[in-house]
Amino acid sequence: MSAQIYLIGRPAFDIEAFLLFLAGQASDWRRTPGATGPEELVEVAGRICYMSFGDRQSPRENSTYLKNLIDLGHESVLEHVSWTFLLEGISRALTHQLVRHRPGWAYSQLSQQYYDEAATAFVMPEELRDNQAALSEWRNAVEQSRA
């Protein structure tokens, strides 16, 4: 999988870019009629953490969903009502570095606790391409991680 960057939010929510991401996930999103762009952006930021779209989406209306996020203390999603980029196909190591150096940035990341990643794609380090022994060991480690 190659890295993809989607600009899904600026001071207004870019629904077309977000729907393009969902199409790539073979999923959909039930929107709340009357919700504003910023309210939808915060909802999407929260739902991305759990990939709770399509069949996994709760029947909650936008306002109820946002209140629940705030009640749970999951307030970082409120920070997305500015510029929001959705990154896909990058390593967990890279996202960890981004999160560690977060001043001025807000991150919402797919939860490895609540989302089954048994079929997830792994990002192969390019240095392994020319070393078949190392590549074989890496693939073995990936399969052991999945198991």
Digit-coded pLDDT (tens) for 103-112: 667 778 888 7
Segment 87-100 shows an average pLDDT of 85
In this predicted structure, what is the pLDDT of residue 11?
A: 65
Distances (CA, A) of 62 to 31, 69, 75: 8, 11, 15
Cα–Cα dist 82/23, whole Å: 24
Segment 139-147 shows an average pLDDT of 88
Q: Which residue has the higher pLDDT, 3 or 28?
A: 28
Of all helices (H) and strands (E), which one includes residue 46? helix 37-48
Residues 6+ apart with CB under 8 A from 135: 124, 128, 129
Under the banding of pLDDT at 50, 70 and 90, the label for residue 1 is: low
Q: Is 6 helix (H, G, I), strand (E, B) or coil?
A: strand
Q: Is 58 helix (H, G, I), strand (E, B) or coil?
A: coil
Cα–Cα dist 64/91, whole Å: 33
In this predicted structure, what is the pLDDT of residue 43?
A: 95
In this predicted structure, what is the pLDDT of residue 114?
A: 82
Q: Which two tokens stand for residue 69?
A: 């996020």
Digit-coded pLDDT (tens) for 44-89: 999 999 899 999 999 999 999 999 999 999 888 888 877 788 888 8
